[in-house]
């Protein structure tokens, strides 16, 4: 019995890890390390609930855990390691020279998502990236449907303003 539980859980994690990690990264504002920690914590909780949720909707359960944990962690101050000297920081990796416009736009959008408050970011990501209906977004966030709609609308509105502010002007003169 225990081996079957372990095998099914392992298959679920193996199959869904990339998508869940991407969701966690979006929910944490693009911080890959926080996203990995968040996802690992969520999967530990899933492991203990696996007998109850394995035959129902384990991905929905993990999504709910991720969204709530991301909102909680955004409210807490992080006391982790911080460089004391700017020279101690690792250099940023070089950007690949052959990136396409779509990748640039997605990167820009993810940077804008990181600027949203945690609950608005979670609502926007769940509604438009995960393509969940408003009712499910509200359930995941643990709030009424009207609040979920409001969070989503405010988040999208703020994203539009941020995108407009950072839009690169097109030069009309040829050089």
The burial class, CB within 10 Å (0-12 / 13-18 / 19+), for 41 is middle
**pLDDT of res. 158:** 93
Say what the pTM is: 0.58
Report the C-alpha gap between 107 and 111 in whole angstroms. 6
Most confident range, picked from 2-11, 18-27, 159-168 = 18-27
CB 62 within 8 A of CB 56: no
Report the C-alpha gap between 148 and 123 in whole angstroms. 6
pLDDT in tens, 133-142: 999 999 999 9
Report the C-alpha gap between 29 and 35 in whole angstroms. 9
Report the C-alpha gap between 151 and 120 in whole angstroms. 5
Q: Please list the alpha-helical segments (H only) found in 28-144.
A: 32-53, 58-75, 101-114, 118-124, 134-141
Mean pLDDT, residues 158-166: 88
Report the C-alpha gap between 43 and 12 in whole angstroms. 10
Q: Residue 88 gets which letter from DSSP?
A: G
C-alpha count within 13 angstroms, C-beta hemisphere, residue 90: 4
What is the band of 110 on the pLDDT scale with cuts at 50, 70, 90?
confident
Options 1.20.140.160, 3.30.2020.10, 1.20.140.10, 3.90.1720.10; CATH for 8-76+103-165 is 1.20.140.160
**pLDDT of res. 144:** 94
pLDDT in tens, 20-35: 999 999 888 888 888 8
């Amino acid at each position: 019995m225990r081996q079957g539980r372990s095998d099914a859980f392992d298959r679920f994690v193996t199959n869904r890890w990339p998508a869940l990690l991407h969701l966690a990264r979006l929910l944490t504002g693009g911080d890959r390390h926080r996203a990995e920690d968040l996802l690992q914590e969520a999967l530990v909780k899933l492991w203990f609930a696996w007998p109850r949720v394995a035959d129902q909707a384990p991905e929905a359960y993990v999504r709910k855990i991720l969204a709530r944990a991301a909102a909680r962690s955004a409210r807490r101050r992080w006391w982790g390691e911080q460089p004391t000297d700017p020279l101690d920081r690792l250099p940023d990796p070089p950007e690949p020279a052959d990136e396409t416009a779509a990748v640039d736009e997605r990167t820009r959008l993810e940077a804008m998502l990181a600027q949203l408050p945690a609950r608005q970011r979670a609502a926007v990501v769940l509604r438009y990236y995960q393509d969940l209906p408003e009712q499910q977004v509200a359930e995941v966030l643990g709030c009424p449907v009207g609040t979920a709609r409001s969070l989503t609308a405010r988040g999208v509105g703020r994203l539009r303003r941020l995108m407009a502010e950072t839009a690169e002007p097109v030069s009309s003169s040829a050089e």
